[in-house]
Each structure stands twice: as C-alpha cells, then as structure tokens.
C-alpha cells in the first residue's frame, strides 16, 4: 500500500479578516471577480493577509503507456522522449512560457520508454520503461504504484524545502489522454464514450476505437480483480489502469496539500490526477487552483464534478502544463492586489456605505 496522507483543510480562522480586506479595497464589492476568489483561497491556505506566490515552480512528469499498442494515439511512442528533450532544450510551449514568466522548470522521468541523457533540468525517477498494456493485463504492480506516487511526493518536498510557494504541474506521455479517460470512467462512473476525446487529434473513428479499448480494459480488470469498478480502492484502480506520470502528479498534489502549499491544476490529464488524489484524501481539493478548461471533450464534465471554476478558457488541448503557466500571471496578480491595492480608508476615498 502506498503512503498515507494526513491532509487538513485550511483553517477558517482568518476568513473573516481576509474577506474584510478584500471587500474594503478601492473597488465595488466583487468587482475583481475571480481574482478575489483566488486571493481569498491563497490567503486561507497560507494563513496570511498577504499571500505570496513569487517563488513558483513548474514540474512536468513524463511516462509512456503500454496501451499505445492498441492504436489509441495519433502519434507513436517515440514522441515522448523526443518531447522530453524538447522541454530540456527550451523549445516546447511550456518551456518558452516558463522562460517568459521566469518560472523554474523541471522535467521528471517516471516511466519514459527510453534511456534519457542526464540534464540539469531532468529528474530521474524512472519506475519502469512504460506501463503495461492495460487492455491485456494490469498496468503496473502494487510496488510500482507506490514508487510512482512517492516520486511525486519527493519532488514536491524538494521544491517546498527550497522555498517554492506555488507548485504547477504538467505531463508528457503519448497515450495518456486514453489512460486519463479510463481513470475518469472508473472514478466518476461516466461511460467510456463520454470520457474519450480527440487527444492529440484523433478523428471520430479513432475516438470511438479509444472508447472501445477503455470499455474492454475495464471489463478485463473487473474480471481479474473480482470486483466491480465502484468497489475498487485507489490502490486497485491505479494498479489496473493507472499511468506513472498521472500517479506521480497525484502524489505531488497530495504532498503539496499535506504541506499546506497551493498548486495549480493544468488541463484534463492533470485534473484526472487530482480526481485520483481526491479519492485518496478528499481535502486535497481545497489546495487546488484550476488553470483552465481545455478543449478535451470530457474536461468540462470533470471540472463540474470537481465543482471547479477554471481561470481561463482558451480552447487549449496541449497539456504539458501550458494552461497552468498561462494562468500564473493572474494568480500572481491576485496576491498583488491584496497586498498593494489601497483600501478606501488609506486612499481617503468614500465607500458605498
């Protein structure tokens, strides 16, 4: 069994004072919209009237998936290590956006199906050279589940120990939208047809095939475990249909929350990681800031299930933390207005009373 987490909800003791500070800024009540909600959430998480996200970090977890053998992706598996190298060389979207906003970037190999050369930005936490094809057998062993989750735990600890006060997560792994859709089907109870989307650009026939593979995989897992999906523990679900990078992200989210540090959820795959983390420890949800609603079909349904209000909606479907880094300046602005914007009293401005 993997690590147990003891996550407590942020204390409400500071809530009234936080809301008072937000409401008495020189603006009509609620005029800064979602920025006010973000400021309140961060203040509550950090137990501070001046929350700070000036030391962020982006961590991308990368892994491959055996189910790619079933033709569920438009791109071949070799693209995963190629894209990891692109991240490391500064050529990917998330790389240039992190550079733009001066956010440190780290790539963590938890299951890429290739030997990767050492690089200052690369963390080697490889569990295996890809998960197994879960349409044919369990995706991984119990020990591998634990190792993947602990990879995320260790990465979160390293960052927070270094002073990071906002974590952002991304992923890379050809086939991981299929894995995420399968996990969502198991966790939420929607049909495979409703959870499967275009991923990297499948046509309708490709999406239909993906949904069929998901259905077959879940039926296979039910037969082998002797349990219906609704009875599965988090451990069973991860072992049967999980992905190494998704579990690592979940571990990082859980540890961030345990250490009372806010984190930013990227798109569909990252949201599935949170969904899994929430099954492990429900209070983890209170530390999550949702960056955007992606173009992946099931993401809107998943966000509604999580009662999440994303900051952006830009029709993104890239993954790799791209939505999270694009939302970062707005999250930072939420802290800046709370800290620096004048109050009616300090500015000598009459309020509405």
Catalytic residue among 146, 155, 245, 320: 320
Q: Specify whether the CB–CB gap between 115 and 82 falls below 8 A.
A: no
Chain position carrying tokens 């800031």 = 289
Q: How many CA atoms lie less than 13 Å away from 103 in the CB half-sphere?
A: 30
* Separation CA 315–CA 323 (nearest Å): 10
* Separation CA 51–CA 30 (nearest Å): 19
61 strand-pairing partners = 108, 171
> Residues near 14 by Cβ (< 8 Å), separated by ≥ 6?
43, 44, 47, 48, 49
Q: Specify whether the CB–CB gap between 148 and 127 falls below 8 A.
A: yes
Residue 265's H or E segment, with its range, is strand 263-265
DSSP state of 164: -
DSSP state of 175: T
Q: Specify whether the CB–CB gap between 298 and 181 falls below 8 A.
A: yes
CB neighbours of residue 347 within 10 Å: 11
Chain position carrying tokens 């880094």 = 325
Known catalytic residue: 245? no
Q: Could you tell me which of 245, 1, 249 has the C-alpha nearest to residue 141?
A: 1
Q: Specify whether the CB–CB gap between 322 and 315 falls below 8 A.
A: no
User: What does the block give as tokens for 197?
Assistant: 């989307």
56 strand-pairing partners = 166
Active site residues: 320
């Amino acid at each position: 069994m993997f690590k147990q987490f003891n996550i407590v909800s942020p204390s409400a003791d500071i809530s009234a004072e936080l809301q008072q500070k937000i409401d008495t800024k020189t603006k009509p009540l609620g005029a800064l919209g979602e920025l006010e909600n973000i400021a309140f959430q961060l203040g509550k998480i950090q137990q501070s009237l001046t929350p700070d996200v000036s030391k962020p970090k982006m961590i991308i977890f990368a892994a491959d998936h055996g189910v790619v053998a079933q033709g569920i992706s438009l791109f071949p598996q070799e693209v995963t290590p190629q894209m990891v190298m692109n991240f490391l060389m500064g050529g990917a979207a998330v790389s240039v956006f992190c550079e733009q906003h001066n956010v440190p970037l780290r790539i963590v190999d938890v299951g890429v199906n290739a030997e990767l050369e050492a690089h200052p930005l690369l963390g080697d936490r490889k569990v295996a050279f890809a998960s197994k094809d879960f349409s044919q057998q369990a995706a991984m062993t119990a020990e591998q589940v634990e190792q993947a989750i602990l990879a995320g735990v260790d990465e979160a600890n390293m960052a927070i120990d270094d002073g990071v006060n906002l974590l952002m997560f991304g992923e890379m792994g050809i086939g991981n939208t299929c894995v995420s859709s399968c996990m969502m089907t198991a966790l939420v109870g929607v049909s495979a047809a409703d959870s499967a989307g275009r991923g990297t650009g499948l046509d309708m026939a490709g999406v239909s095939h993906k949904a069929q593979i998901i259905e077959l995989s879940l039926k296979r897992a039910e037969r082998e475990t002797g349990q219906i999906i609704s009875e599965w523990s988090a451990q069973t679900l991860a072992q049967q249909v999980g992905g190494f990078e998704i579990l690592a992200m979940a571990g990082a989210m859980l540890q961030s929350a345990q250490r009372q540090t806010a984190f930013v959820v990227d798109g569909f795959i990252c949201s599935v990681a949170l969904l899994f983390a929430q099954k492990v420890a429900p209070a983890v949800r209170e530390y999550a800031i949702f960056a955007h609603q992606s173009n992946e079909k099931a993401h809107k349904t998943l966000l509604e299930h999580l009662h999440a209000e994303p900051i952006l909606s830009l029709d993104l479907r890239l993954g790799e933390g791209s939505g999270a880094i694009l939302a970062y300046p707005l999250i930072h602005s939420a802290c800046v207005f709370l800290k620096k914007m004048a109050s009616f009293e300090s500015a000598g401005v009459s309020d509405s009373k």
